[in-house]
Amino acid sequence: MKKTSTRLADGRELIYYDSRDDTVRDAVDRRPLDRTVTTSEVRRDPLLGDAVAIASHRQGRIYHPPADECPLCPSEGDRLSEIPDSSYDVAVFENRFPSLAGDSGRCEVVCFTSNHDASFADLTEEQAGLVLEAWTDRTAELSHLPAVEQVFCFENRGAEIGVTLGHPHGQIYAYPFTTPRTALMLRSLAAHKEATGGENLFDAVLERELADERVVLETEHWVAFVPFSAHWPYEVHLYPRRRVPDLLGLDEGARTEFPQVYLELLRRFDRIFGEGEPPTPYISAWHQAPFGTLEEFDGVVREDFALHLELFTIRRTSGKLKFLAGSESGMNVFINDVPPETAAQRLREVASS
Query: Measured between alpha carbons, how far is 134 from 15 in angstroms, rounded to an integer?
Result: 9
CA-CA distances (angstroms) from residue 135 to 151, 215, 235? 10, 26, 22
Strand, coil or helix: 23: coil
Residues 171 and 99: beta-carbon distance below 8 Å: no
Q: Which amino acid is at 306?
A: A
How many helices (DSSP H) and strands (DSSP E) are in the chain? 6, 15
287 φ/ψ angles, rounded to the nearest 5 degrees: -105, 120
Check residue 326 and report its DSSP letter. Answer: I
Whole-number Å distance between alpha carbons of 74 and 169: 13
CA–CA dist 109, 130 (Å, integer) = 15
Contact between 172 and 130 (Cβ < 8 Å): no
To the nearest 5 percent, what fractions of the chain are helix, strand and coil?
30, 25, 50
SS3 for 151? strand
Is 231 known to be catalytic? no
Tell me which of 169, 192, 237, 308 is the catalytic residue. 169
Please check whether residue 258 is in contact with residue 250, taking contact to mean a CB–CB distance below 8 angstroms: yes
Active-site residues, by number, are: 169
